Amino acid sequence: MHDAQQPVLVMNSGSSSLKMQLHPNGPSLVVERIGEPSGATLRRNGVSLPADDIGDLQDAVQRCLALLSDSHDLTELRLVGHRVVHGGEAHTEPTPIDDAVLASLEALSPLAPLHNPANLQGIRVARDALPGATHVAVFDTAFHGRLPRRAFLYALPMPMYREKGIRRYGFHGTSHDYVTAQLAVKLGTPREQLRIVSLHLGNGASAAAIRHGTSVDTTMGFTPMEGLVMGTRSGDVDPGILMHLLREGTAASDLDDLLNRRSGVLGLSGVSNDLRDVWSAADDGNDDAAAALEVYAYRIRKAIAALAAAMGGLDAIVFTGGVGENDARMRSLACQELAFIGVSLDEDANARGEARITAPGAQVETWVIATDEEARIAELVRHVTTEGHPS
């Protein structure tokens, strides 16, 4: 068992990036563009540092640990929390990692091919570098682990769920959990009394219905590809399109690349997966860019109304993620024509980037709250190692 106040090193390993932060008060380290021809970049608390010696994820982990050891005695570190995107049905709580757990997570990699392999590589490197610490996996899917079957089942033959685990899992759970808990504090109302639509909007995007503290529906599904339009991911498409492309001779690997890396905002606009670039192009008269923004916002708007229906009503909306926190124009566009369910923005407050952007007299509270998945991961790791279960 561990002291509930002791430091936790939180790691989020991606295919070409690494985020590492020592909680509660340690520095934040971000490595990006790992393995790219232009070379990696490294920032400590937002300040750029030389990164010429970083060629792969192992180099990134070792460099970041060396930087941390300049100010912290890592031989005393006992807790490391790892973000893992997909936990399947077997992992719905934060889980201390041993070889058997690692093997079970390897088997889930095909369900999140952009994420899980990189997550697991980071775990292996960190376990070798910090063998005296307890390493804990915290899953993006876990917060959605109590979805009712009406929400998680697909209308496919039931053996596909029972024997193959094909169902909706949902993702961004740590973020949805964190921001809805923060929103409840700001509203002065227990989360257990609220019906909230949480919108995590970034290069990956998902919406979730949080009723009385529990996720009861969400837009991402069996993989992080379903649902809203994303930076390079398609979101919802008619599966008949995929059958059509297969019959035309498109390889499965090409479909994977199309849906995960060449679609979404990038595919629609032909400009970029970054909404800042797409807005700029649309403002300059690029009609494809304008179309991408319209579709992106429209899907969010439909999701808000659908998730309100899933909860039997709506008390609050919270925006988070890189787009949700910073793109006032997209927030405005996404909330248009939702007055019929009580949603109305204070456009001036929204444009100023205030936290509360609810119009006077609106029935539904609308807020913008910065997510802090690392803080929530650290909290969960402490709970699971001090009490044997998360709070």
- Residue 2's pLDDT is 47
- Residue 14's pLDDT is 81
CATH of span 8-139: 3.30.420.40
| Bridging pattern class, strands 41-44 and 28-32 | antiparallel
Q: Do domains 8-139 and 189-368 have the same CATH topology?
A: yes
CA distance 391 to 389: 7
Neighbours of 84 (CB within 10 A): 29
Q: Which residue carries 């998680």 as its tokens?
A: 152
Q: Where are the alpha helices (DSSP H) in 208-286?
A: 239-247, 252-261, 264-269, 275-283
Contact status, residue 104 vs residue 92, Cβ threshold 8 Å:
no
- Residue 1's pLDDT is 43
Q: Which of 44, 37, 39, 1 is nearest to 19 (CA)?
A: 44
Where do the structural domains in the chain lie, given as residue ranges? 8-139, 189-368
- Residue 234, classed as helix, strand or coil, is coil
Assigned architecture for domain 189-368: 2-Layer Sandwich (3.30)
- Residue 43's pLDDT is 94
Neighbours of 247 (CB within 10 A): 8
- Residue 195's pLDDT is 98
Tens place of pLDDT for every residue, the chain, 391 residues? Answer: 445 578 999 999 887 889 999 998 888 999 988 888 888 899 999 999 999 889 988 899 999 999 999 888 888 899 999 999 888 888 889 999 999 999 988 887 877 777 788 889 899 999 999 999 999 999 989 999 999 999 999 999 999 999 988 999 999 999 999 999 999 999 999 999 999 999 999 999 999 999 999 999 999 999 889 999 999 999 999 999 999 999 999 999 999 999 999 999 999 999 999 999 999 999 999 999 999 999 999 999 999 999 999 999 999 999 999 999 999 999 999 999 999 999 999 999 999 999 999 999 999 999 999 999 999 999 999 988 876 544 4
CA distance 339 to 220: 25
Contact status, residue 27 vs residue 45, Cβ threshold 8 Å:
yes
Query: Any idea which residues carry the catalytic annotation?
Result: 140
The pTM of the full predicted model, rounded to 2 decimals, is: 0.90
Contact status, residue 206 vs residue 218, Cβ threshold 8 Å:
yes
